[in-house]
Amino acid sequence: MGSGERAARATERRLESQRRSAAEEVDRILEITLGLIERSAPVMPSVSDIVAAAGISNQTLYKTFGSKDELVLAVLERGVLRVAETARARMGEIDDPRDQIRVWVRMVLRQVSAVDAAETSRSVLGYLHQAGAVEGANQAELLAPISALVLDPVISLGGDQVSADCVSDLVLGAMRRQLWTKTVPTREEIEEVAAFVLRGLGAEGAR
């Protein structure tokens, strides 16, 4: 072993341990923050509430996330990723791209069907909109993990990226409208949206 290699390996092990510890602490703070938001919605918890519940100082919070806005954005990003992971798993169990699109539409629109979850989403998005943290391209970027899932089945049905973007804009737009108007889509309405998307793609067997 060459000169300095043992020291380099020891340093890397130390850094890896620190990275794991930091990631675990970030996860813990995010979970605590989400729990506070769920309990206090539609009012957002204060920084004082968050640091007290997490057992950390204001300095630690700002050193970790930079600002309350960044913390709330991280909570939103985590929620989006969880929805995307669940949708990806369910779509992966299906071979027919038409059924994959139906599953995707159902997953997206059912995010506003659970009253408590919808109230939490309104609280988070309302706060971020007021702070100017989720506007235009930034909002599209946040939802990209969900939007990206519809591309492969759309291509399988003869569409392209533009077609997939149109599908995503339509369905996510419907979700946002129902979120802000506090309306809950019925099962029939969700299925009609899915059928509308498939008809627009010219997919045979659309219902």
Do 113 and 173 belong to one domain?
yes
C-beta separation of 31 from 82 below 8 A: no
Q: Give the tens place of pLDDT for each residue, 150-162.
A: 999 999 999 999 9
Q: Which two tokens stand for residue 148?
A: 């990206």
Q: What is the DSSP letter of 201?
A: T
Residues 104 and 200 in one domain: yes
Residue ranges making up the domain that contains 12: 1-66
Q: Does residue 42 have a cis peptide bond before it, meaning omega lies within 30 degrees of 0?
A: yes
113 or 30, greater pLDDT: 30
Say yes or no: 136 and 198 in one domain: yes
For residues 125 and 205, state if they share a domain. yes
We report the CATH number of the domain holding residue 110 as 1.10.357
The answer to whether residue 71 is domain-embedded is no
Same domain flag for 139 and 203? yes
Instruction: Indicate if 24 and 85 belong to the same structural domain.
Output: no
Residues 105 and 35 both lie in one domain: no
Confidence of residue 206 (pLDDT cuts 50, 70, 90): very low
pTM of this structure: 0.81
Per-residue model confidence (pLDDT) at position 125: 87
Is the pLDDT reported for residue 147 higher than 80?
yes
